[in-house]
């Protein structure tokens, strides 16, 4: 795959993640979100802060992990997913 096609594909994927994630700066587009090596973890480029993006029972949950470091964000991501799953199951009505 050529470099230009790879770049276009990456731009397309970034748009799918955050449709409003591009802003113009001196005639160029700069992505506001950056992927990380960790699944469900994204970095907001201007601030450098890490965000969790998890889907639990069909609902997309995005939360700031209030850190810039991956080593701190990994356990916080796991804790967030666990707490959201527990709170989601407790509020589900029985039918």
Tell me, yes or no, whether 26 and 5 share the same domain.
yes
- Are both 40 and 18 inside the same structural domain? no
Query: What range does the domain containing 24 cover?
Result: 1-31
| pLDDT given for residue 50 in this prediction | 97
* Residue 12, pLDDT score: 58
84 with 42, same domain: the answer is: yes
In a domain? residue 24: yes
| Secondary structure in 3-state letters for 39-75 | CCEEEECCCCCEEEEEEECCEEEEEECCCCCHHHHHH
pTM, two decimal places: 0.63
How many domains does the chain contain in total? 2
| pLDDT (average), residues 23-31 | 63
**Residue 13: in which H helix or E strand, if any?**
helix 3-17
Q: Verify that 25 and 70 share a domain, yes or no.
A: no
User: Over the stretch 64-94, which tens digit does the pLDDT of each residue have?
Assistant: 999 999 999 999 999 999 999 988 755 555 5
């Amino acid at each position: 795959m050529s470099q230009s096609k790879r770049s276009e594909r990456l731009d397309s994927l970034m748009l799918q993640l955050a449709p409003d994630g591009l802003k113009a700066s001196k005639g160029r587009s700069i992505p506001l979100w950056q992927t990380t090596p960790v699944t469900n973890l994204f970095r907001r480029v201007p601030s450098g802060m890490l965000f969790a993006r998890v889907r639990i029972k069909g609902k997309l949950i995005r939360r700031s992990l209030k850190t810039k470091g991956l080593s701190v964000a990994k356990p916080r991501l796991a804790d967030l997913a666990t707490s959201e799953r527990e709170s989601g199951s407790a509020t589900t009505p029985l039918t």
